Structures are given as C-alpha cells and as structure tokens.
Structure 1
C-alpha cells in the first residue's frame, strides 16, 4: 500500500483530504437542512425535491473521486495527472458557483408554494458561499504544490526514461490519453445522472437510450485503455468512432437545452445551468481526447509497446510505482548513489 513519503506528496494528499472533508461536511449540512425543511404531500411537478439532492450527490461524488485520483497520481508519480487534478478542481469550482444559483432557484420555487418550513435560504446561503471560496483557495494551493511535485518527480522520470526524444514524446502522449480517460469518466457520469434524474417528461425511449449509452461509454473507456496498451488499431478506430458519436450526443443535448419548444425548455430549466457547464466541459474533454487518441494510434508500432506494458513501468523499480516512467531498455539502470573511485 502506497503512503506519501515526501513533504510535497503529503501536502498534496492532505490538501485534497481537507478540502473533501470540509466540502462534503458543508454539502451534508445543506442536504440535511433541506430535507428536514420540506413539508409533506408536495406535488410531483415540483421536481426541486429531486434537483437539490442530485446536485449535492454529484458534488460529493466529485470529491470522493478526486481523492481516488490524487492517491493514484501520487502512487504512480504521474505528473500529467497531478496537473490534470488542478484543472479538475477548477471545473468543480465552476460547478460550485453554478450550484449556488441553482439551489436558490429551487428553494424559491418551493417557497412560493409554501412547501418549505422556515427561512431555509437564509440558513443555506453562508454554506453555499463558503464552498466556492474554499475551493478557490484549495485550487491555488494545489497549483503551487503541483509545481513543486513537477520538480520532485522530474529526476525520477528522467532517470528511467529512454534517451530517445521521440520516444519521450510518444510516452507523454500516452500518459495524457490515460489521464483524460479518468477525467472523462466523471464528467460523462455527472451529466447523464443529472439529465436522467432532474429533467422531466423525457420519453421512455430517450431514457433507455441515455442509460444504455452511459453503460456503453464506460465499457469503451476501459477498453480504450486496454487497446492503447495493446496497440490495437481496429480497437482504437472503434473507440474514436464512439468518441465522435458521444461528441454529437453532447452537442445535440447542449443545443436542445436552448432551442427546443417552450414546454421542453421548461423541463430543462431546473438543471439548465448545471447541465450546460458539464456539457461544455465534456465537449472540450472529448475534443482533446479524440486528438490525443489519434496521436496515440499514429505512434503504434514505433517501439512504445514494451514500455507501457512492462511490469517495471507499472510497479516501479523502488516498489512505489511509476506508471509515467519508461525503463531503460538499453541496459541496467544506473545507481542513484554517487560514488568516488
């Protein structure tokens, strides 16, 4: 089991843990306060009772998933993933800011029908303001520590990497692609869950297709990582085609949220801001993922496969795991201890 063993790896891990604990605590308070303030017998057309719990659940899952990615990045000493986590935090920060308005609208909708007891918004507002501020501070700290970790991991990476500059670039492309798959997972899931739970009057066929697309996409994400390691050209072509289909799907959903008929626009209204932010972020991620997948496929059969499939690459020479390093295939790795002859 990996345990951080330097000042900056501990700092990165502890920052993630503190942010997650405080933020999940704030979200749990908001959820508990909201649930206890609801009156009985609320009409079904008030989907605000589903909207707020869904936002909070997605948010809390985002923090838990971030902790998993932080541990994975530090264990593997993956500089690309560390940088990606800083950008991930910015994305969640945007969602936290949007969540403030979305919950405000939901509370006002319920308060107008007198389905809420007491001044709920006045009690929730401080927590919902504190959360984006917390995340903004944490993002700055993450960025600083990521810079320190980049320097810390640099010697380890260059100590094990091949001397061939072109091979370094191919391996960097591979690492970017693997990191993108991990972030794609969360944004795909967050968008689809909000759509399935919050948006009303969706046809049974559309719901079934959306749920099926979610399952297929997740399976393809795992296969994408498998096929890029095996350098399977047919597999990567299939994955890239699915990426384009997913891109078309998210573009369609994004346009439809603003260009549908009046009734459908009302269905999207409770979650429009949140769905828009996740759709835009997912579309940007997909574009980068498609380009990177094409670059990885172009690099097939050029000597990279032994590096990405080597046991020493996945586990590391010092049993701490360096998935972003390449073992020296030209000879034994030199000792890190300086000696005087």
Structure 2
C-alpha cells in the first residue's frame, strides 16, 4: 500500500515529518540533558522518573502520529485526517501541560540537578507548543484540501446514496476512534505504572496486563465491525463500559485526599490523559452502537470493496462483486 500521489498528500506528509523531526530533536535534547545531569536519589525515586516518562511518552506520541498519517493517507480516510489535526492540538496542550509539570519535578530534585538545567530547558519547552500551534494551522488547511480530494473517492464507491454515505461515515469515525483510543489508554497506563507510588502488587500486575488485553479488544472491535458480528459487538460494547468505569474511578481516586500524594508527581498529566480517554470512550461507545445498528443494511460489501481498491489502486465499478461475498456491490434502495 502506498500514499496517493498528489501535492496535498505529500504536503501533509511533509508537515507531519518536519514537525516530528523538530519536536523529537528538541525533546531528545531535553531528555538527554536531564539524564546526564541527574544522580538518581533514593528518596525521590518516583519524582526522578517523572521527566523521562513525560518526554519519552511525548516522543512516542509523535512517532505514533506519523504512523497514523501514513495509515490515513493510504486509506484516504478523511475522518482520520481530521482526527490527526485534533490530536495535534491535543499534543500542543500536553506540551503546555508538561512545562509546569517538568518545572515542578526539577524543583523537587534541585539537590540532584544543576541549577541552570531548568533555565536551559525552559525556552525549548516553551518553543514546542508554539511550533505545534503553527504546524496545526497548516495541517488544518491541508486537511481541508484533502477532504475535497478524497470525497471523490468515496463518491465513486458509495455513490450518492445519502443513507449509505452516513453509514460509511459512522464506520470511518469508529475505526479512527479505535486508533486514538490505543494511544491515550497506553499513555495513561505507562504513567501510572512508572510514576505513581503506593500501588499494590496486584494492582501493578493488573495494570500491566491491561495493555495487551486492550490491544486484543481494539483488534476484535474492528474485526467484528467489518464482519458485522452483532454478538461480538455487544461483548465489545460491554467491555467499553468497563473501561469507562475504570477511568472514572481513576480520575476520582487521584483527587481523593488519602491518595493525593501518590499521584502528585504526574497528576496534571494523568488528568489530561484520563479526561481525553473518557471523551474518546464515550464517542467510541456511541459509534459502536450506531455501527451495530447499521449491520446487514448493505454497507459490508462496500467496505471490503473500498479496502481492496485502496490496496490495488484500481477503480472498480459499483456493479462488481466482492471476493468471498455473494452480494453485488451495486447500491440498493432500502
């Protein structure tokens, strides 16, 4: 699979790659400077892990965004491209949040760090949200152009049937949400495992086990949707509600007086990830229900035909048949 060859797709790629290269370089410099000058204190073990965790997670965020850029463009998924613009704004906000969070961490470790470390890191950390603000504006403009460009691809395969287009739009939103769910859930879990103190062995083990379980759930969530498996989707939706309860519990718990000290080193960042994840889960649940309601209404052949067409980069007619399906891809009136 490859990226469609047009000036707007390559401009979107260029913006994402240049942005990632610049931000990764700045973050790597701050990360290396901190690691070089820090002598790990025995009595501040959790705090000493705060800065490396924040910076590593931020670096991973931009690498993951590059993967999603490639994925969105090869699939001509306009919804995912819009989601990437929103995600970029989210990374901007997280960049602003990390300034104060890192400043607090440096202040608590002042006995173990050079006095001028924060003064050297501060302008770099301030520059990062400014750069992201500029590139986010550029990405929104190019995304608008790509929306017009990719709209024709959707029209060729879905035709002008408004009901079918709405069903396909719901499907696109759902698949895009699953990809963003993974990053924000992983981001919250990593910070909780590495930074938060006072965890029991059972809680620690369950949190670690949640990572592969989440990956499996998200995989089957997409699989059941493409296969239009109603029983499978009902199980997935129940698991979503379990995840919603988990993040609500964690969000409330980190602000309880008895637990406040345990979450203090990363409470702002954890709150940011928890709130974003809650919104994503609610959106995922709503779209999962809508997708399930759209099962067996003629969308499945078009999903597989569009996926095959993106793989082969060939135009297909609406009357063609989908491999393995006995249903003609021609649009039917409900």
Q: TM-score range by the shorter chain?
A: over 0.9
Query: Structure 1, residues 280-327: CA drift from partner, whole Å, max 9, x if none?
Result: 0000000000000000001111111212233xx1132683489xxx96
Whole-Å Cα distance in 1 between the matches of residues 146 and 277 of structure 2?
27
- Report the CA distance between 1:48 and its aligned residue: 2.2
> 2:235 corresponds to which residue?
238
> 2:44 corresponds to which residue?
45
Query: Structure 1, residues 19-60: CA drift from partner, whole Å, max 9, x if none?
Result: 100000011000111011113x62243422211111011101
Whole-Å Cα distance in 2 between the matches of residues 104 and 151 of structure 1?
43
Whole-Å Cα distance in 2 between the matches of residues 192 and 140 of structure 1?
30
Change (3 A) 1:249 1:85: same
> 1:22 corresponds to which residue?
22
- Give the structure, 1 or 2, with the largest relative contact order (CA under 8 Å, sep 6 or more): 1
> 2:151 corresponds to which residue?
154
Whole-Å Cα distance in 2 between the matches of residues 274 and 28 of structure 1?
19
- Report the CA distance between 1:329 and its aligned residue: 3.4
> 1:266 corresponds to which residue?
261
Q: How many residues align?
A: 323
- Aligned residue for 1:28, secondary structure, equals helix
Query: Structure 1, residues 209-241: CA drift from partner, whole Å, max 9, x if none?
Result: 212222212110000000001111111011000
Return 246-255 or 159-168, whichever deviates more: 159-168
Whole-Å Cα distance in 1 between the matches of residues 274 and 23 of structure 2?
23
* Gap regions ≥5 residues in structure 1: 334-341
Deviant stretches of 4+, over 4 Å: 330-333
**Structural mapping, 1:49-128, within 5 Å:** 49-111=48-110, 114-128=111-125
**Pair 1:293-2:288 in alignment:** yes
- Tell me if the contact between 1:75 and 1:320 (Cα under 8 Å) persists in the aligned partners: no
Whole-Å Cα distance in 1 between the matches of residues 160 and 93 of structure 2?
41
Change (3 A) 1:317 1:188: closer
- Tell me if the contact between 1:177 and 1:293 (Cα under 8 Å) persists in the aligned partners: yes
**Pair 1:329-2:326 in alignment:** no
Q: Tell me the TM-score normalized by structure 2.
A: 0.92
Q: Tell me the TM-score normalized by structure 1.
A: 0.90
Whole-Å Cα distance in 2 between the matches of residues 216 and 172 of structure 1?
28
> 1:319 corresponds to which residue?
312
- Tell me if the contact between 1:161 and 1:327 (Cα under 8 Å) persists in the aligned partners: no
Whole-Å Cα distance in 2 between the matches of residues 132 and 140 of structure 1?
12
Return 282-291 or 208-217, whichever deviates more: 208-217
* Matching residue within 301, 307, 316 for 2:302: 307
- Tell me if the contact between 1:236 and 1:297 (Cα under 8 Å) persists in the aligned partners: yes
**Structural mapping, 1:217-228, within 5 Å:** 217-228=214-225
- Tell me if the contact between 1:162 and 1:327 (Cα under 8 Å) persists in the aligned partners: no
- Tell me if the contact between 2:2 and 2:74 (Cα under 8 Å) persists in the aligned partners: yes
**Pair 1:283-2:278 in alignment:** yes
